[in-house]
Amino acid sequence: MARLALLSVTDKTGLIEFAYSLVKEFNFEIISSGGTVKTLQAANIPVIKVSDYTGSPEILGGRVKTLHPRIHGGILARPDVPQDITDLENNQIRPFDLVVVNLYPFEETIADPNITVAQAIEQIDIGGPAMLRASAKNFAHLTVLCNPKYYNTYLEELRQNNGEASLTFRQKMAGETFALTNAYDQAIASYFASLSPNSDDVLPTRFSLAGTEVQSLRYGENPHQQATWYQTGTSASGWAGATKLQGKELSYNNLVDLEAARRIIAEFDPKEPAAAILKHTNPCGAALGTTLAEAYERAFNADPISAFGGIVALNQPIDAATAIALSKTFLECIVAPSCDPDAETIFKAKSNLRVLVLSDLISGPKQTVKVIAGGFLVQASDDFSDDPNTWQIVTEKQPTSEELEELTFAWKIAKHVKSNAIVITKNKTTLGVGAGQMNRVGSVKIALLQAKDAANGGYLASDGFFPFDDSVKTAAAAGIGAIIQPGGSLKDKDSIKAANELGLVMVLTGIRHFLH
């Protein structure tokens, strides 16, 4: 008797060619649900309707098509279990050799903002996941294919193994299938969470992270670490949706730094040219300018030594002048919302340089995730938008409006520097960055060392409060004129007293921005 395949697919890509090979080359009989039957019949491929096979019509507008013991019995039966064979015989059930299912496009449906909840719910596939999960469970006896991309691999398996798919392949397909049904359900769960009146509740009691491979990376942080890049959701968004205009393959570290760079320039209004140069997730230079080229040059000149091999994010389209400036040094990657044709031509001379275009550099993830032994930690992203109207000026000396703007710039950068973070700025340009030190005054010293004499009359931002007045005194000795920090230390009074005695402005934000 011919072998039996069950085909029930929404995405009919490659279906006809595949079914043709199954029937002509491998003598399969095919059973299919309504729409799949129509596609196959239109191509003159012999097919049996599920409803004819089960004797039960499709009902409830397609909500019940394949949910029948003759289908699920044929999927789940074990030919090496005598009772299973008896059950099949007693119920006139034929076992399946192959199950091919892909699902209703739930994620694509909800991506349309005009879709109603009722329409979204009709796109939750029930029969499909049931068949997929049952088939994956019984991979020892049949093959499940959940994506058209595996059709040819399956046919090759049959060609190379005397008409049988190998156990290794069947097991791999089963794993892929459970990963798919998991991701599918996760998308539905996230959609339901988004319907909750408390829609900013990003931390449900059960949290899953599902992803699809974008590309396998050459290695992770170091060459001995394997790494792969996954995208969340079915449509490419964020970095998965960026276009690489030229350059070498993106690396793990490139992507980590690109995201850190994106977060910095997302702080600024896209009308105001901004540039950030990142090294190891910290900015070695960040600046605003009247033109994009000026913003980049200021950021570069902040620390030209560290900028070598850096990752650059820009918040406006790259023009020729900026491209010329960018081409003067070795950079790993550049990203901007778009790139003028003149600029593209200029970059061609540096064929290894990775140039990416990502139109939306503002939107980022709502949560961040860190894996720890036995679990992972999820937190809401630090997208708190600081409001200078809520800040407290605690010194006798009051800032002018320009000074307040400078402090705001310094504060926005400090938010994206690893703690303990100290940022020294002037003219909306970083002069020195102290990152990731174990004591705050250590970061102050590093930032001042970088800023050199330019620190005189500069501004200093600290991501956390000062536990002692030593940082204020060190900053004042180098000529810093104004400090912005969260406040909240038991010894705030000491720091404020030192600021007053040394003639500094001090602003407390009431919010800290640790970054680990």
Residue 478 burial (CB count, 10 A): 21
Strand 227-231 and strand 212-217: the pairing is antiparallel
Shortest Cβ 74–ligand FAI spacing (Å): 14
The answer to whether 312 touches 275, Cβ cutoff 8 Å, is yes
DSSP string, 308-372: TTEEEEESS-B-HHHHHHHTTS-EEEEEES-B-HHHHHHHHTSTTSEEEE-S--S---SEEEEEE
Four-residue CA torsion sign, 347, 353, 359, 362: negative
Complex with ligand FAI: residue 8 or 430, whichever CB lies closer: 8
Shortest Cβ 63–ligand FAI spacing (Å): 5
- What are 246's strand-pairing partners? 355
Complex with ligand FAI: residue 62 or 488, whichever CB lies closer: 62
Place of tokens 């720890």: 372
- Whether 137 is a known active-site residue: answer yes
Shortest Cβ 96–ligand FAI spacing (Å): 14
Shortest Cβ 147–ligand FAI spacing (Å): 12
CA torsion 125-126-131-132 (nearest 10°) is: 50
Residue 370 burial (CB count, 10 A): 10
Contacts of 232 (CB under 8 A, 6+ apart): 209, 210, 211
Complex with ligand FAI: residue 62 or 238, whichever CB lies closer: 62
Given 12, 280, 397, 497, which residue is catalytic? 280
Shortest Cβ 35–ligand FAI spacing (Å): 2
Complex with ligand FAI: residue 104 or 391, whichever CB lies closer: 104
Task: Count Cα atoms within 13 angstroms, Cβ side, for 328.
Answer: 13
Shortest Cβ 129–ligand FAI spacing (Å): 7
Residues forming contacts to ligand FAI in the complex (CB under 6 A) are 8-10, 32-36, 62-67, 101-104, 125-128
Given 12, 38, 137, 141, which residue is catalytic? 137
Shortest Cβ 233–ligand FAI spacing (Å): 19
Nearest in space to 69 (alpha carbons), one of 153, 130, 5: 130
Four-residue CA torsion sign, 338, 279, 227, 354: positive
- Whether 280 is a known active-site residue: answer yes
C-alpha 355/C-alpha 462 separation (Å) is: 33
Question: What's the longest Cα–Cα distance across the chain?
Answer: 96
Complex with ligand FAI: residue 59 or 167, whichever CB lies closer: 59
Complex with ligand FAI: residue 102 or 315, whichever CB lies closer: 102
Distance of CA 272 to the CA centre of its chain: 26
The answer to whether 287 touches 295, Cβ cutoff 8 Å, is yes
Complex with ligand FAI: residue 101 or 250, whichever CB lies closer: 101
C-alpha 98/C-alpha 138 separation (Å) is: 11
Complex with ligand FAI: residue 9 or 435, whichever CB lies closer: 9
Shortest Cβ 132–ligand FAI spacing (Å): 8
364 CB-contact burial (10 Å; exposed 0-12 / middle 13-18 / buried 19+): middle
The answer to whether 229 touches 217, Cβ cutoff 8 Å, is yes
SS3 for 460? strand
Q: Which amino acids are annotated catalytic?
A: 137, 280
